[in-house]
């Protein structure tokens, strides 16, 4: 382990700026564990993608993404095109942290760092739409635009509540889109309120939105919400919160490894909470494309390393 070179890519605004406040202690933790660690801060969109790609080209032994799902998605987009990719570690400082939830990576950065130091990895799938990659979720429709419409400062101040506020603002303006999805023996033509393509079971903070999704099965879980009235949509939202929506007649669910998605309406795409282009789109899964540091034995076996310093709260 000694002598390994780590590149830490962090978003200073993530987690109400927690990543920025804890940066000296994060770097000290990895240095004391034997990692030669350097860091790159993101200032604008695309910075994490460029930093991750440069880290791969420079031959770093591992990359660590410290931030939310948006930062993580950018880092993966910087790594995915390279033929040889180092393992990726996560310090989940974001508002939602979907991939960390799906993989059981703890929210406390000291515990997440211990998993990286432990050097145990799991191969996971990633999704690709056109020329962009996603790790958790892709989607289209009015409500899927929420995550990239919520200002960073609002997320910093209000956390998950910021999304709910924006969602309530949008509800009266919901309208269906004409949608076609074709591939893997499926040909769906629907008027739909929205569609979601999930790579993991944790989507937008809801761990039961795609309950059967598995991050290493070589398939994507596709959920289409059919055209419905506003009262029906609100009723369905209640079912989603309880994890009881999958058998509702207003929900279409199937799995696929590859899809062509088209619409006669203008539809913007959401990839891991960020604007990801528009339809038409070719969507596919890249099986076991990335190695992620995890605790394969379960979090009950975790014990933090003792490095002889105290991290302030």
Distance CA 129, CA 282 (A): 6
Any idea what the Cα angle at residue 276 is, between residues 271 and 277, rounded to 5°? 150
Query: Annotated catalytic residue: which of 190, 207, 232, 274?
Result: 274
190 is catalytic: no
DSSP 129-167: ETTEEESSEEEEEGGGGHHHHS-HHHHHHHTTHHHHHHH
Distance CA 23, CA 253 (A): 42
From the number of C-beta atoms within 10 Å of its C-beta (0-12, 13-18, 19+), residue 61 rates as: middle
Please give the helix or strand (H or E) that residue 286 lies within, else none.
strand 281-293
69, 13 Cβ separation under 8 angstroms: no
181, 259 Cβ separation under 8 angstroms: yes
Distance CA 97, CA 109 (A): 12
Phi-psi region of 59 (alpha: psi -120 to 50; beta: other; left: phi over 0): left
Tell me how long the chain is: 313
Instruction: Kindly give, in sequence order, each residue whose CB lies less than 8 Å from that of residue 276, ignoring residues fewer than 6 positions away.
Output: 129, 132, 134, 138, 269, 270
| Residues taking part in catalysis | 274
């Amino acid at each position: 382990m000694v002598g390994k070179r780590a590149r830490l890519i962090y978003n200073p605004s993530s987690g109400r700026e927690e990543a920025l406040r804890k940066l000296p202690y994060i770097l000290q933790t990895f240095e004391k564990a034997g990692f030669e660690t350097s860091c790159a801060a993101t200032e604008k969109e695309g910075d994490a993608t460029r930093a991750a790609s440069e880290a791969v080209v420079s031959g770093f032994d591992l990359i660590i993404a410290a931030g939310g799902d948006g930062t993580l998605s950018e880092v993966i987009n910087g790594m995915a095109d390279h033929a040889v990719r180092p393992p990726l570690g996560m310090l989940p400082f974001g508002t939602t942290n979907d991939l960390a939830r799906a993989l059981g990576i703890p929210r406390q950065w000291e515990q997440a760092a211990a998993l990286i130091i432990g050097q145990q990895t799991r191969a996971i799938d990633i999704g690709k739409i056109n020329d962009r990659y996603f790790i958790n979720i892709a989607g289209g429709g009015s409500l899927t635009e929420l995550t990239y419409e919520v200002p960073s400062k609002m997320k910093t101040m209000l956390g998950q509540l910021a999304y709910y506020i924006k969602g309530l603002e949008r509800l009266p303006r919901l309208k269906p889109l004409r949608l076609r999805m074709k591939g893997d023996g499926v040909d769906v033509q629907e008027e739909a309120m929205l569609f979601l393509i999930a790579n993991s079971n944790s989507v937008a903070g809801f761990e039961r939105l795609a309950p059967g999704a598995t991050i290493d099965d070589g398939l994507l879980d596709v959920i289409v919400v059919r055209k419905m009235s506003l009262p029906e949509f609100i009723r369905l939202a209640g079912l989603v919160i309880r994890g009881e929506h999958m058998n509702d007649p207003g929900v279409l669910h199937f799995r696929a490894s590859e899809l062509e998605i088209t619409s006669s309406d203008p539809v913007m795409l959401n990839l891991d909470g960020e604007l990801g282009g528009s339809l038409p789109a070719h969507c596919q899964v890249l099986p076991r494309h990335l190695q992620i540091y995890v605790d394969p034995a379960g979090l009950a076996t975790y014990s933090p390393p003792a490095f002889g310093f105290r991290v302030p709260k």
